[in-house]
Amino acid sequence: MESCRCDVLNVLSGPLAQDYVRGHLEGARVDGLGRQVHRCARTGIEWTEDRNPDGYAENVLVLRRVLR
Ligand SMILES: [Zn+2]
């Protein structure tokens, strides 16, 4: 399992984000905007998947931490 960096990171992108989803986060639900939401079992922190966001190459997976 990947070590938990949910407390210190706000955004992850590319292969790093894919590894983090696979190795650390649980697929949880889909939010009101149709985005996949992943959850960290250790901290309870949630991350949303952002596909094709502005400023990134096509088909790059970007994870954004849900602020609360
Ligand atoms: Zn975590």
pLDDT per residue as tens digits for the range 23-58: 999 987 999 988 899 999 999 999 999 877 777 777
Distance in Å, CA 7 to ligand 1 centroid: 7
Tokens of 42: 């250790």
Q: Rounded to whole angstroms, how far apart are CA atoms 16 and 12?
A: 7
In this structure, the strands spanning 25-30 and 46-51 are unpaired
> What per-residue confidence (pLDDT) applies to 11?
95
Distance in Å, CA 41 to ligand 1 centroid: 7
The pTM is what?
A: 0.85
Distance in Å, CA 22 to ligand 1 centroid: 12
Distance in Å, CA 5 to ligand 1 centroid: 6
